[in-house]
Structure 1
Amino acid sequence: MNNCNQSKVYFIGLDVEDEEDQMHLKIQRLFDAAEFNSFLKKGDLTAIKVHFGEMGNSTFIPPWYIASIVAKIREAGAKPFVTDTNTLYRGKRRNAVDHIYTAILHGFTYATIGAPVVIADGLTGKNYTEVEINQKHFKKVKIASDLVNADAVIFSSHFKGHMMAGFGGTLKNIGMGCASVQGKKEQHNVRPYLPEIEKCVGCGVCKNHCPADAIEIVEGKYTVDKDACVGCGDCIRYCPEGALAFNWESDIAEFTERLIEYAYGVWKIHQKKMGFINFVINITPECDCYNLSEIPIVKDIGILASTDPVALDKACYDLVNKQQGSQDSRMESNYNPGEDKFLGVHKETRGDIQFSYSEKLGMGTTSY
């Protein structure tokens, strides 16, 4: 974080006037402007924390953008590797073998990005280090060991919506993205239920998507083993009838705080050797964990960078909300400039807590 009342956030748009406006050159100019090379030392094992995208998703940050960051890290004499952690839910990134295969199919190869791919929490997500934080929800958090052991981290985040966090940017990439599988389970300590039982038609789609095998269809209705449930929300996400829900008033506020406490654990370790880049493009209603990509809620905006994760996400959030919302997207309200676009998609979420709680924990400032 910058030692001033306002943190510096750097922005570059998507307009093109000449060859100097090629995307890889813009990314490298942002890297220089934010002075990420100031904390990179020769030989530093430097993680580039990305999201490789679930199989079938097409809105993750392209590998050739990441290659630009790799080049700048090498230029500083450091040793880059590109990384993510295994997932809690069913899909093609639940173990390191499937995860790396998915990354390769999405273009993240050494030939493309110029750096090795490492899954930071190991083969099955059990390679983690406990970091002491002594906060409201957690005394210790379980962070992927290879991210703990890295000398520096550059976070490359896709800014978009999220069904539980409201939006996902740098803070979510730090908190959820650096957690081990067990750490993700601790954050998702919420349980779905049937607020209107008559909506459930017993189709079994929820059961088929449950990663914990916690769901049964009994007498034509959904039932869940609350002890087995990992709270990932996949049953809510995939229910074709919209029958399932969280307790949005209590569960989601606490989920968001737990997310930020995990981010705090990573920040506590690396706060002087972290840089953050947000790509505010393909601003979809949901995260790249979905195995599909939807119509963006607003037009593409640009790329932003900072050494303050709170200020960076707040700047991106403000830029999105200044736009006209797309009525062709899944938004249901808040189309006008100045209105909260993410609440227009996920009306029960508390994305504001990402800012207030991270600021309270001293991770940065919303003033930029």
Structure 2
Amino acid sequence: MEKSKVYFTNMHATGKENLLQKLHRLIKTAGIDQINFDKKYTAIKIHFGEPGNLAFLRPNYAKVTADIVKELGGKPFLTDCNTLYVGNRKDALEHLNSAYLNGFSPFSTGCHVIIGDGLKGTDDILIPVEGGEYVKEAKIGRAIMDADVFISLSHFKGHEAAGFGGALKNIGMGCGSRAGKMEMHSSGKPSVSAEDCIGCGMCAKNCAHGAITFTDRKASINHNICVGCGRCIGVCAVDAVQPASDESNDILNKKIAEYSLAVLNGRPNFHISLVIDVSPYCDCHAENDIAIVPDVGMFASFDPVALDIACADAVNRQPAIEGSLLEKNGCKHHDHFTDVSPETNWRVLIDHAVKLGLGSKEYELVTI
């Protein structure tokens, strides 16, 4: 089998070409113009960053990507889906406020921001997963599936459950609606903290299956009836409804691969990853520790599997930054991501993605 091409450029800049111009050249050299963008709605999937986190990608990189799409005749928009956990991105209004706070607006990026699964994280569409071992129908944000072309723009970093967060994590987990994220993270159903519940009744009002009842003005969820849609999480004003997070990391990674297949199957797609500010944990954290390795560079490919492998290989070739979590934990596993999060195995995600036909582990690195 022919190796997938992954294009790379480092973070050096000159008076003749700054980093944004290098990213533009990288994307064009990698062949994005092979895609027909003419009047096509183009979803650019990015993580806007939890407010307080400063490791997320700058909006400047998103503007370069959106500008290329427009140059090629497309109609780009930036997108992400609402979170499962309680934070500042759990509904579309807070999510948009967070995106704007972190610099992602039509004025800074040249395109609009659309939250993929709607106001309360319930606007999704069921997509069959061909060959899915754990997921038969993925729950993907409707706006993302409405797009004609899909582009992932990923901040490559560590992740406390998946090992690392790269293209596949950005696609699979990121494009899942709240119910989809529930399915990936959990083998169970949400529950209610009686201590926090104020008995307002909004969870029951929004439950389509009658799974929520009240005793002494405290809600409880019948798991025999609950389907795990997560609507109750999104409407609880006091965050009393909590998702289960009890799936094993290996199965979580396999579900991410299966959700990625649902997102990408049957339409043009292209992938960009920036290996900079490599924080030990996800950008969903409202804080980011110092980077675990020095900045590496920018990567692009049509193959998200090869792209993730190339980025992981590049990170593993770097020395640990003094004082970082990686240095503190040591390098006994000979893999930086396992050293940072020893309970994870990112290779499970890669192997399952290959099995599903999402890409190849074999790649040719083309340096520009």
Identify whether the pair has TM-score above 0.5, normalized to the shorter chain: yes
Decide which of 95, 107, 112 is 1:111's aligned counterpart. 107
Structure-1 separation of matches of 2:192 and 2:86: 10
Q: Give the letter for the 1:315 counterpart.
A: A
| Deviations, residues 165-201 of structure 1 (Å, cap 9, x unaligned) | 010000001100111110000001157xxxxxxxxxx
Structure-2 separation of matches of 1:158 and 1:26: 17
- Cα distance, 1:328 vs. partner? 0.8
Structure-2 separation of matches of 1:62 and 1:290: 16
Structure 2 equivalent of residue 316 of structure 1: 311
- Cα distance, 1:19 vs. partner? 2.5
Decide which of 247, 263, 268 is 2:265's aligned counterpart. 268
Structure 2 equivalent of residue 200 of structure 1: none
Moved over 6 A (4+): none
Secondary structure at 1:60's aligned position in 2? Answer: coil
Q: Give the letter for the 2:34 counterpart.
A: S
Contact kept in structure 2, 1:159 and 1:279, CA below 8 Å: yes
Change beyond 3 A, Cα 1:226–1:349:
farther
Determine whether 1:43 maps to 2:39.
Answer: yes
> RMSD of the alignment, in Å?
2.5
Secondary structure at 1:343's aligned position in 2? Answer: helix
Give the TM-score normalised by the residue count of structure 2: 0.82
Contact kept in structure 2, 1:314 and 1:366, CA below 8 Å: yes
- Percent identity, aligned pairs only? 38
User: Is the deviation greater in 91-100 or in 251-260?
Assistant: 251-260
Give the TM-score normalised by the residue count of structure 1: 0.82
Decide which of 330, 340, 343 is 2:338's aligned counterpart. 343
- Cα distance, 1:304 vs. partner? 0.2
Structure 2 equivalent of residue 60 of structure 1: 56
Decide which of 275, 287, 291 is 2:286's aligned counterpart. 291
- Cα distance, 1:16 vs. partner? 2.0
What pairs with 1:14-93 in structure 2 (closer than 5 Å)? 14-20=11-17, 22-93=18-89
Contact kept in structure 1, 2:59 and 2:108, CA below 8 Å: yes
- Cα distance, 1:107 vs. partner? 0.7
Determine whether 1:143 maps to 2:143.
Answer: no
Change beyond 3 A, Cα 1:214–1:87:
same
- Cα distance, 1:79 vs. partner? 0.7
- Cα distance, 1:225 vs. partner? 9.0
- Cα distance, 1:40 vs. partner? 3.0
Structure 2 equivalent of residue 329 of structure 1: 324
**Is there any run of 5+ residues in structure 1 with no aligned partner, and where?**
192-210, 218-223, 233-245
Structure 2 equivalent of residue 208 of structure 1: none
| Deviations, residues 54-101 of structure 1 (Å, cap 9, x unaligned) | 011111110111111111111001111111110001111000011001
What pairs with 1:203-282 in structure 2 (closer than 5 Å)? 213-214=192-193, 251-270=248-267, 273-282=268-277
User: Is the deviation greater in 125-134 or in 85-94?
Assistant: 125-134
Change beyond 3 A, Cα 1:325–1:89:
same
